[in-house]
Amino acid sequence: SRLISAQAHPDLLVLERLVEGGKTKKSISVDQSRELPEFFSKSPSQAQHRVAIIDAADDLNINAANALLKVLEEPPERGVLFLVTHAPGRLLATIRSRCRRLSFPIWTPDRLETLVRNRTGVEREDAEHAAAMAGGSPGAALALASGATFEMDQLARRWVEGDIDRAEALAVADKFRGAEGQERFEVLMDRLISAVKMRALGGGSSGHRWADLWERLQPLPERTAGLNLDRGDVLAGALADIRRVQVQQERMG
């Protein structure tokens, strides 16, 4: 298990987006996919099978997806290939047709709450909130229960509910510098996007406006990293969009 955790097991290959210069690439490249045929051409050395995991298959660029298809067309005899996907509909139909689908049901809020309380020791109210916001994901629930993430979530929800303090936003953006600042920005944007999504799901006369805003905000974190945009400016733009929807909602009564 230690070898697998360190991705050092000779019979395991994990393909995921590479990190270069502190930045995560936008996709899994065709060169990475081309590692699969060579990997599966060898016999297992310590296990009964050779296992490759693509996490996530959604991140394959078109050339990488086509290279993967060649492996799926001639499955290795003693090989197992797992494709992790968060949006199966986005995969090539030719890939989906050659795979067996294994669905993992989301966790119930009660189960998530128990997990959070046992692992973190937070109060019941905080555990309930983390479980409710996690969308069925154990990892997200544990992250939400941590101090920094929990504070970011509370801040994001307060902003979306209507209390946007410009001075406070500037102070938060001032902490976006460096690697720690990037992580802080990504966590805040994740919680902000999630809070907007919850407003959209809440329906009401402005539900469609919140839904449109949610769609616009979703690609922002990746675009910010890919184009090296100013994180403070991106946050300011997102808050301006949120305020616009709030004003429209107020005018409608």
pLDDT over 90 (residue 29): yes
223-241 pLDDT, tens digit each: 898 888 999 999 999 999 9
* Beta strands at 19-20 and 23-24: parallel, antiparallel or unpaired: antiparallel
Mean pLDDT of 189-200: 90
pLDDT tens profile 94-143:
999 999 999 888 899 999 999 999 998 888 988 998 888 787 889 888 88
Query: How high is the pLDDT of residue 17?
Result: 92
- Residue 201 tokens, joined: 């799901």
Angstrom distance (rounded) from CA 69 to CA 79: 15
56: how many CB neighbours lie within 10 A of its CB? Answer: 17
Residue 154 CA: distances (Å) to CA of 18, 139, 187, 221: 32, 18, 12, 19
